[in-house]
């Protein structure tokens, strides 16, 4: 059984959750977000889609204890307002540092011992903080920043050179 958690259901986290369900990648998916209404909305959107899919995914929400036996947890928390105000991903630094402490501590308390994949920015810093707060080994905590940052750089250079 493949059990996955997604923490942070903004644009990126919701897309990750949707892909995991619609592609049949996860047998069980735990959705977590500090915005209860957003989490509930995403939960029901995914639940409603299950009747039209060839696969089934068991869904639950806002339960860190359910992540104890998860294979993978993906963190995608962030502060979209900070991005909208300045467009600089480092504007999320203070907010995401606090989130990394809260999420990392909650995962540790839940007994999570799987693989942690971080998408939140600044990716390398937040990945290091998550590794610290969870107590997981470096072989268990990964960030996606370099791949995405490379794509952003390619786009910026392409646009600058027309």
pLDDT tens, residue by residue, 96-134: 999 999 999 999 999 999 999 999 988 889 999 999 999
Structure-derived torsion over alpha carbons of residues 108, 147, 1, 75, reported in degrees to the nearest 10: 30
Specify the pTM: 0.89
Q: Residue ranges per domain, the chain?
A: 3-160
Q: How confident is the model at residue 8 (pLDDT cuts 50, 70, 90)?
A: very high
Quick: pLDDT tens for 43-100.
Answer: 999 999 999 999 999 999 999 999 999 999 999 999 877 666 666 667 789 999 999 9
Residue 96 CA, distance from chain mean position? 12
pLDDT at position 90 is 72
Please tell me the distance from the alpha carbon of residue 136 to that of residue 129, in angstroms, as a whole number: 11
Classified as helix, coil or strand, 50 is helix
pLDDT at position 14 is 96
Is the separation of the CB atoms in 61 and 39 below 8 Å? yes
Phi, psi (5° rounding) for residue 20?
Answer: -60, -40
pLDDT at position 146 is 63
Please tell me the distance from the alpha carbon of residue 90 to that of residue 56, in angstroms, as a whole number: 38
Quick: pLDDT tens for 50-61.
Answer: 999 999 999 999
Average pLDDT over residues 145-159: 81
Strands 28-32 and 58-61, sheet pairing: parallel
Q: Domain 3-160 class?
A: alpha beta
């Amino acid at each position: 059984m493949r059990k996955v958690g997604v923490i942070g259901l903004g644009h990126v986290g919701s897309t990750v959750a949707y892909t995991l369900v619609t592609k049949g990648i996860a047998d069980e998916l735990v959705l977590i977000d500090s915005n209860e209404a957003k989490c509930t909305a995403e939960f029901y959107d995914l639940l409603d889609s299950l009747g039209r899919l060839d696969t089934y995914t068991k869904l639950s929400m806002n339960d860190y204890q359910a992540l104890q036996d998860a294979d993978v947890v993906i963190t995608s928390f962030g502060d979209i307002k900070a991005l909208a105000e300045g467009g600089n991903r480092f504007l999320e630094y203070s907010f995401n540092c606090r989130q990394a402490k809260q999420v990392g501590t909650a995962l540790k308390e839940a007994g999570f011992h799987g693989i942690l994949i971080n998408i939140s920015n600044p990716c390398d810093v937040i990945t290091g903080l998550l590794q610290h707060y969870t107590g997981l080994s470096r072989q268990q905590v990964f960030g996606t920043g370099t791949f995405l940052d490379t794509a952003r750089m390619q786009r910026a250079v392409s646009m600058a050179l027309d």
